[in-house]
Amino acid sequence: MSPRLAKALVNGGLIGVSAIVLMPMLWMLSVSFMQPGEASTYPPPLLPAHATWTNYHELFERAGMGRYLANSLAVATAITLLSLAFNLSAGYAFAKLRFSGRDRLFQTLLGALLIPAQVAMIPLFLLMKWLHLVNSYGGVVVPGLAGVFGIYLVRQYAQSIPDELLEAARIDGAGEWRIFTRIVLPLLKPIVVTLAIFTFLASWNDFMWPLIVLSDQAWQTAPVALAGLSREHVQDNELMMAGSVVTILPVLVLFLVLQRHYMHGLLLGSVKG
Amino acid sequence: MGATLPRVVVVSTERTAWTFVTPALIVIGGFFAVPVLAAFVLSLTDFDLYALADLRNLRFVGFGNYLDVLRAPLFWKSLLNTLYFVGVGVPLSIGASLGAALLLNSPLARAKGFFRTALFAPVVTTVVAVAVIWKYLFHTRYGLINWTLGQFGIAPIDWLGDPHYAMPAIIIFAVWKNFGYNMIILLAGLQGIPQDLYEAARIDGASTWRQFRHITLPSLRPVLVLVGVITMAGYFQLFAEPYVMTLGNPLQSTYSVLYYMYEEGFMWWSLGRASAIAFLLFALMLVATRVLLRIARRAGEST
């Protein structure tokens, strides 16, 4: 094979695969701007004849999408901020502080990763009902306050902090809390960003648990509401595409902006494990 | 290190360490570990709508739920569907990931950053939202997929309405949604293979295929096993795709084990039964992971 042909094949392959991968999202965007009913024709139109905001209007005015997006934002932000506090302090302690039974405890936590989350969901629902957290933000936020994966990620990263640094601070008389906030947290900054974007995306995209715990429409997150809408509006393709756009756009933009940190966490979490 | 410090400091370190880990442990314990144990207890009871109203209606039934579930044709149907999804979907996904990673790793490839981002994008999207898109792409009359097939003279396929095509359609969707994740991990694996191995092979006149077969694949084996285990665990938890695209239909051909658990639990409020289904799925996942690791070890010994 000549080098030129090989080059054409590799790059042509990448262009072809990327086109197939991006096509569904580009089409979603295009159809979301079509007149109601316009996409239900054959052959399927690629671009709207007259681009319109009708579907977005309908989505926010009639279907109440604004409320669902606000719910998603509130839930994902709360989980991200609070779980960062819980996971950072625990991850740091597992990496750098000595306490009896530390390693055995950490092994046990890692073992819990084998158990699928759904096993806990039914008793968790009863617990939430008992705590009066069904149909509230708390029902989604509270179980997400800490996670084994987050603790693991922080621990992996925190292990690279030199012990001498912490020792020196201790000999200087700094308290453990002060060491954590003044010395450790600034050093952990890269993993904080990584973990924040991971958590935010995962909470925004989460479906099964919010579906179970948020049956009341007023509290539903965007994915749960969208799934419900798609069952009601089977024929309204243009409207549903607009719904998909506004659900995906926030996470997609966030990912594009913070991509480097996301990829970093992905590799730290899997390859080195 | 403790020896160089005064005793007081060591004791206070122990105490602060616990204050650092305890909040997270309470959350994980209270909202995961205890519920998992409770789920097992629950699976041994007939917890249902009556028990939900008044706990005095709760009865202990031993392994009755498990026997009931194992006797239910719908459980076996959902199990076979899930195994179909895992058995076909996992190899296809990893194959797609590996192919894309090889293209991206080629020294001939241009604009790698752009292509990497483009191919990864579906991973970060919301599964419900993209399932809504794909449901429409698979539309028999107006969908882009049948239109494309039509250009090659292929008659329209009733993707989500024909029991033979519904699961393949969901598998195609899942591959599209997920392959980017493993692509990144495999790409890192490919970049870790020492280049001199390939140079030596080229000097010996080995073809591209032989280099792939005898250098790339064996070097990637640990990464492939890892990726296989993670992907398989994820695919056993099939739920949102059928929930949005097919409601488990047509003829329950996309009804998954988790979908079964969800309906038993939250449609019919047979929470004891649903807990038993969750544990059966967990057991199945453990066995499947074991089998996969054993196959990987065998394959490792034979090469």
Amino acid identity at B13: T
Asked if the C-beta of B12 comes within 8 angstroms of chain A's C-beta atoms, the answer is yes
Domain ranges of chain A: 64-270
HEC string for B201-227: HHHCCCCHHHHHHHHHHHHHHHHHHHH
Q: Is the pLDDT of residue B10 over 70?
A: no
Q: Is B51 part of a structural domain of the chain?
A: no
pLDDT tens digit sequence for A15-66? 999 999 999 999 999 999 998 888 888 788 888 888 899 999 999 998 899 9
Query: Measured between beta carbons, which residues in chain B are less than 8 angstroms from residue A90?
Result: 20-21, 23-25
Q: Is B35 part of any domain?
A: yes
The model's confidence at residue A234, banded by pLDDT at 50, 70 and 90, is confident
Backbone angles phi, psi at B60, to 5 degrees: -85, 130
Residue B137 lies in a domain: yes
pLDDT digits (tens, 9 = 90+) for B229-266: 999 999 999 999 999 999 888 889 999 999 999 999 99
* Gyration radius of chain A over CA positions: 23
The burial class, CB within 10 Å (0-12 / 13-18 / 19+), for B63 is exposed
Indicate whether A272 pLDDT > 50. no
Q: Which positions 4-43 of A are in contact with B (Cβ < 8 Å)? A: 6-7, 10-11, 13-14, 17-18, 21-25, 27-28, 31, 39-43
At A221, the pLDDT band (50, 70, 90 cuts) reads very high
Residues B31 and B98 in one domain: no
What is this model's ipTM?
A: 0.91
> B132 and B32, same structural domain?
no
Q: Do A202 and A265 form a contact (C-beta atoms < 8 A)?
A: no
> Which tokens in the block code for residue B198?
């390939």
The position carrying tokens 């621990």 is A155
Domain range for B33: 2-43
How crowded is the C-beta side of B227, counted as CA atoms within 13 Å? 28
Whichever domain contains B202, its CATH number is 1.10.3720.10
Task: Report yes or no: B251 at the A interface, CB cutoff 8 Å.
Answer: no
pLDDT tier at B5, thresholds 50, 70, 90: low
Does residue B271 surpass a pLDDT of 50?
yes
In the numeric block, the tokens 């139109």 are attached to: A45
- DSSP code, position B248: T
Q: How far apart are CA B57 and CA B49, in angstroms?
A: 9
Task: Say if B200 is an interface residue toward chain A (CB within 8 Å).
Answer: no
Cα–Cα distance measured from residue A145 to residue A149, given in angstroms and rounded to the nearest whole number: 12
Is the pLDDT score of B303 beyond 70?
no
Cβ–Cβ under 8 Å, residues B133 and A241? yes
Only one residue has tokens 């981002």, namely: B117
Instruction: Examine the domain organization and report whether B143 and B26 are in the same domain.
Output: no
Cβ–Cβ gap A244/B132 under 8 Å: yes
Residue A197 has pLDDT above 90, yes or no: yes
Q: B45 pairs with which residues across the strands?
A: B60
Clarify whether residues B37 and B178 are in a common domain: no
- pLDDT score of A40: 82
3-class SS of residue B45: strand
| A239 in B contact zone (CB under 8 Å) | no
Q: Cα–Cα distance between A20 and B122 in angstroms, integer?
A: 11
CATH number of the structural domain A64-270: 1.10.3720.10
Q: Is the dihedral of CA B5, B6, B10, B16 positive or negative?
A: negative
Domain-located, residue B81: yes
What tokens were used for B55? 């706990």
**Token couple for A15:** 């262009």
Q: Is B287 on the interface with A (CB under 8 A)?
A: no
CB contact under 8 Å between A121 and B278, yes or no, is yes
Tokens standing for B246?
């097919």
Same domain, B35 and B83: no
Q: Is residue B48 part of a domain?
A: no
Residue B302 clears pLDDT 80, i.e. is over it: no
For residue B191, which of B103, B105, B111, B120 has the smallest C-alpha distance? Answer: B105
Instruction: Note the pLDDT of residue B9.
Output: 57
Chain-chain contact of A237 with B142 (C-beta, under 8 angstroms)? yes
How far, rounded to the nearest angstrom, does the alpha carbon of residue A162 sit from its chain's CA centroid?
31
Residue type, B139: H
Dihedral sign of CA atoms B199, B203, B205, B206 in order: negative
For the CA atoms of A130, A134, A140, A144, the dihedral, rounded to the nearest 10 degrees, stands at 10
Asked if residue A10 lies in contact with residue B105, where contact means CB atoms within 8 angstroms, the answer is: no
**Environment class of residue A138 by beta-carbon count within 10 Å: exposed (0-12), middle (13-18) or buried (19+)?**
middle
* Confidence band, pLDDT 50/70/90 cuts, at residue A273: very low
pLDDT band at A154 (very low <50, low <70, confident <90, very high): very high
Portion 43-102 of A in contact with B at CB < 8 A: 43-44, 85-87, 89-90, 92-94, 97-100, 102
Q: Which residues of A touch B236 (CB under 8 A)?
A: 116
**Per-residue pLDDT averaged across B268-286, rounded?**
94
The more confidently predicted of residues B206 and A207 is A207
Question: Does A128 contact chain B (CB < 8 Å)?
Answer: no
B111's torsion region: left (phi>0), alpha (psi -120 to 50) or beta?
A: left
Answer yes or no: are the C-beta atoms of A231 and B245 closer than 8 Å. no
Residues in chain A within 8 Å Cβ distance of B230:
270
How many structural domains comprise chain B? 2
Interchain CB distance below 8 Å, B21 and A262: no
Contacts 24+ apart (CB under 8 A), B172-175: B173/B130, B173/B131, B173/B134, B173/B241, B173/B245, B174/B85, B174/B89, B174/B93, B174/B235, B174/B238, B174/B241, B175/B89, B175/B92, B175/B93, B175/B96
Q: Could you tell me if B92 and B172 are in contact, meaning their C-beta atoms sit under 8 angstroms apart?
A: no
The residues near B303 (Cβ < 8 Å, ≥ 6 apart) are B218
